[in-house]
């Protein structure tokens, strides 16, 4: 079957590929409907590597996906043919210590779609463990279903922040993950969120998503804005979602005494933190790596209408135009947030 294959850095093709498609007793076969393009996908396309993960052989792209179940394994009882689903892309070793401790996202042996050397899902069909396949509520479209994966990142960050009702949070970076983190923080109990960026169209969109105050850091001082909103106290939580080195180094500036910083973005180079600034506020520092145990909560919030991701889906391409979609994702307009690819539906 045809797939979107990264042959090597800067070389992407839509071509036939022969991959194992046997459905085991605990698996399901899924006709893929929608796949989102993540920043990591673009990074592999443009640079061929992210840290220790290096593309050394052809790899199918994509890990944010939804689709329809077309075959179920003999031991699967919670899903049936015709179910609309989304798929959690990381498959851990169920017997690993990390998995047994509940931290399956940290299993060193986890097989994560479109992370070298593991193939992704940007192709007509995938076979996936039923345990990591989730039925979509009737109110959620395939496009929204493909947004559960990036929302899970924001949800995991919100959980790690230990939000208290009424907290004020700052999100540094108004990309897809930043905006979804803001929505997760509001759903988790924050009374308001301040979000920063340098691109005004993204900030304008973020301001329409809820009680979110946009701050363009090229024109405004974040600390002054936060102090005005908090009578000089500071933000209860700062989420660093940009991955920008300067932004990551400044996380304690707007934080209140005893506040929490959660690092989400991954800077391309090591970052120097002002430990004394953190100590002077007794800041709590949390980090996240992907997510664990949040897909059901994300789907519940989306299904109830508490979180609406539709405004963030700004660009849609057909499967045959996938290479153009990736090229656009690498140089997209400021008003674009999430780019998705829709596959032709065949059974």
pLDDT in tens, 247-278: 999 999 999 999 999 999 998 788 999 999 99
pLDDT (tens digit, 9 = 90+) per residue, 53-89?
899 999 999 999 999 999 999 999 999 999 999 999 9
For position 269, what pLDDT does the model report?
Answer: 84
Residue 42 Cα distances to 21, 330, 332, 339, angstroms: 26, 6, 11, 11
The residues of the chain that CATH labels 3.40.50.720 are: 152-287
CA distance 204 to 313: 15
pLDDT confidence tier of residue 345, bands split at 50, 70 and 90: confident
What is the maximum alpha-carbon separation in the chain? 61
pLDDT (tens digit, 9 = 90+) per residue, 205-255?
999 999 999 999 999 999 999 999 999 999 999 999 999 999 999 999 999
Report the predicted TM-score, pTM, of the whole model to 2 decimal places: 0.96
For position 160, what pLDDT does the model report?
Answer: 98
For position 267, what pLDDT does the model report?
Answer: 87
CA distance 209 to 183: 8
Is pLDDT of 174 > 70? yes
For position 171, what pLDDT does the model report?
Answer: 98
CA distance 150 to 154: 7
Is pLDDT of 100 > 80? yes
φ/ψ of 124, rounded to 5, equals -60, -35
Dig out the tokens for 247 from the structure. Answer: 């932004």
For position 50, what pLDDT does the model report?
Answer: 87
For position 52, what pLDDT does the model report?
Answer: 85
For position 346, what pLDDT does the model report?
Answer: 59
Using a 10 angstrom Cβ sphere, with 0-12 exposed, 13-18 middle and 19 or more buried, the burial of residue 346 is exposed
CA distance 175 to 335: 10
Q: Share the mean pLDDT of the chain.
A: 96
Cβ atoms of 36 and 128 within 8 Å: the answer is no
Is pLDDT of 347 > 90? no
Cβ atoms of 102 and 293 within 8 Å: the answer is yes
For position 298, what pLDDT does the model report?
Answer: 97
Long-range contacts of 226-235, Cβ-Cβ distance < 8 Å, separation of 24 or more? 226/168, 226/170, 226/194, 226/254, 229/168, 229/192, 229/194, 230/168, 230/256, 233/257, 234/259, 234/281, 235/168, 235/169, 235/170, 235/194, 235/259
pLDDT confidence tier of residue 282, bands split at 50, 70 and 90: very high
CA distance 319 to 138: 25
Q: What is the CATH number of domain 2-147+309-342?
A: 3.90.180.10
Cβ atoms of 160 and 262 within 8 Å: the answer is yes
CATH superfamily name and code, 152-287: NAD(P)-binding Rossmann-like Domain (3.40.50.720)
Residue 344: count other Cβ atoms within 10 Å of its Cβ.
Answer: 11
Cβ atoms of 175 and 202 within 8 Å: the answer is yes
φ/ψ of 230, rounded to 5, equals -120, 15
Percent of the chain at pLDDT above 90? Answer: 96
CA 55 to chain centre: 21
The residues of the chain that CATH labels 3.90.180.10 are: 2-147+309-342
The number of C-alpha atoms within 13 Å of 187 and in the hemisphere containing its C-beta is 28
CA distance 277 to 283: 9
- Tell me whether strands 27-36 and 125-129 are parallel, antiparallel or unpaired: antiparallel
């Amino acid at each position: 079957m045809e797939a979107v294959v990264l042959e090597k850095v800067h070389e992407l093709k839509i071509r036939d590929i022969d991959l194992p498609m046997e459905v085991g007793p605990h698996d399901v076969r899924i006709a893929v409907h929608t796949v989102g393009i993540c920043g990591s996908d673009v990074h592999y396309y443009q640079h061929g590597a992210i840290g220790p993960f290096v593309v050394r052989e052809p790899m199918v792209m994509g890990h944010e996906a939804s689709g329809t179940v077309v075959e179920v394994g003999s031991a699967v009882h919670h899903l049936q043919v015709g179910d609309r689903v989304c798929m959690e892309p990381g498959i851990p070793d169920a017997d690993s210590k990390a998995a047994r401790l509940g931290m399956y996202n940290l299993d060193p042996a986890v097989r994560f779609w479109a992370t070298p050397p593991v193939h992704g899902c940007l192709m007509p069909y995938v076979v996936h463990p039923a345990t990591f396949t989730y039925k979509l509520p009737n109110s959620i479209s395939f496009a929204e279903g493909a947004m559960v994966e990036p929302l899970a990142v924001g949800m995991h960050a919100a959980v790690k922040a230990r939000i208290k009702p009424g907290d004020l949070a700052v999100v540094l970076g108004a990309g897809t993950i930043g905006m979804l983190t803001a929505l997760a923080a509001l759903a988790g109990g924050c009374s308001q969120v301040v979000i920063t960026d340098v691109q005004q169209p993204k900030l304008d969109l973020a301001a329409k998503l809820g009680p979110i105050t946009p701050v363009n850091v090229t024109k405004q001082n974040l600390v002054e804005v936060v102090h005005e909103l908090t009578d000089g106290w500071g933000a209860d939580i700062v989420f660093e979602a940009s991955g920008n080195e300067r932004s990551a180094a400044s996380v304690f500036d707007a934080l209140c005494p005893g506040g929490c910083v959660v690092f989400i973005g991954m800077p391309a180079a090591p970052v120097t933190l002002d430990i004394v600034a953190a100590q002077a506020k007794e800041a709590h520092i949390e980090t996240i790596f992907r997510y664990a145990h949040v897909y059901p909560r994300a789907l519940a919030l989306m299904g109830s209408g508490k979180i609406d991701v539709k405004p963030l889906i700004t660009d849609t391409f057909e499967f045959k135009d996938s290479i153009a979609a990736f090229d656009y994702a690498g140089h997209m307009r400021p008003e674009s947030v999430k780019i998705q690819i829709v596959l032709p539906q065949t059974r």
